[in-house]
Each structure stands twice: as structure tokens, then as C-alpha cells.
Structure 1
């Protein structure tokens, strides 16, 4: 009988160590904290203003300057404003038939100009005058585009790339 007990002693040690290890694993998994809240996603782009070369291009070729994009109405609207330097080159901006879109590069959101029943599109149209500032407003319902994000503006064949939402 003594021989049987001495042979079983290592087996008992092994079995007890397996039970202890299983209890430790279960206790460690039960003590883990709940998953962390998701972190806010930031734009991968650096907040750099438009280059002087781009400003010169839009001024000479497209007839506009002082381009800006601002978040308004608690972020529910985004206002694109510009100043006309050459009404002939910028004629596309004053046409009602030219569809305008604002595209968020990081969020991949495509915004349109809202149309009100009695007012119409929230943009200025008609004959353009040199030196005048004009604007158009895009609906940002649900705030997919945040301040600091780079956006592109498409108005017919006019493309303005890399503007930063203020």
C-alpha cells in the first residue's frame, strides 16, 4: 500500500496544480475591466493652409480668391465662401444649374446644398461682380464633417481641393 501512495503523490500534485491554474485563469478573466471606450478619430492630415501656388491658380484661372470653409449652426451647416476677382472666369459659380457638392476627405461624406420650399437653394446665384463676396451653404446633418477636416468642393467642372474646415 505504501508503494501505491508514493506513486499517487506526484499525480495528486499535478492534478492540484492543473485545478489551481484553471482557477487562476478564470479569476483573471473575470477581473478584466470592460472594453475601453472608442477613441476619437482625428484627421490624418496636417492643418496646413492652402499654398500660395494654389491661391494664385484659383485667382488667375478660376477667377476667385479668399476661399474659406466654416462650420456654422452648431456644426449642422458648412459655409463655403469666396470672393470673385474675374466674373467671366467664375461664371460657373453663379449658375443655378451647376450642382455643388462638398466632400470630406477623412470622413468620405458627400454633402449637398439644401433646398428650402420658399427660398430655394441656400446659395447665391445670378450675375457675378468683381470684388464681391459670395457664399453657399451645405447641409452637415449629423455632423459627419468636423472642424479641422480637409474638404473638396465640386461645382460643375470646378474643383477646389484641400480646404480646411474652420
Structure 2
């Protein structure tokens, strides 16, 4: 796996040279996270169809379905994410042939300590009311594939993973 420390500010750590497939897979994760942030920051501004359309550019059907259900739940409850995060590190596996396309596994450590969930009045929602915890650091593994029928890489799976994630 190749690694880089990437965030909103320049890093003293040199960035690796990604292969074209690794770079495209990382771009798909970036696009997916940007679309997710856009919807999550104001779910009430999106219809189910708009959420689906925006996420479908960057993610496969099962990921889109799960995300849209989550955002519709937030919308119904009048909640939204007050986001803020920075990528602390990105790892990308070498591209592999799956038989139906190309796969790259992208692992990200994200500092999301500024993130909160707010209600319609702008008040912070408690973990108990929300039903889950928004963790300070998120270590997530994205399965990114360019399937034979796809024109670009998309996120087909994501899951928490074990490892170190936090400030260096």
C-alpha cells in the first residue's frame, strides 16, 4: 500500500506517486465524501431523487440506498450535520482485477472532531437523541471499483477498519 498525509494544509511529508487507477479511486472517494457532506449539511434541501442522483455519480447502488435512507431519516427528524473535517492520511492498495472490473481499496483516517449534528433550531443533538455517536476520528476503508459497465471508479462498499487513526 502507498500512503500519504493529506489535509487542507501542505504537508512536510512528500506525497507518493499514485498510479492512474489509485488516483481515480481516491478521486471517487473524495467525490463521494463531498456529495455526502453537501447532502448531510442540509438534508431538507434535497428530495430522495436528488440525493440518489448526486450520490450515484460516486457510489454503487447499495451504498447509495443506505446513504439515502440515512439522510431521509435525518431530514424527517429535522437534523443536519454541521461538518468540519480534515483528512489525516490516505492509503491505497494496488489496483487488482476482480474479473468484472478493477478494484482499489482506499483507507482514510479523518479528523472529524468539529462535526456535530444540529436540530432545526441549530441546537446540538445529543448522542442519545441521535441514536449513535459521531466519533472524533474516523478510520474508514472504501472498496472502490471500476466495473466493466462503469465509466469511472465508484465506491461500492465502506466499513470501519482496525488501525491507528488520530493526530501524529
- The higher radius of gyration belongs to 1
Scaled by the length of structure 2, the TM-score of the pair is: 0.25
Scaled by the length of structure 1, the TM-score of the pair is: 0.26
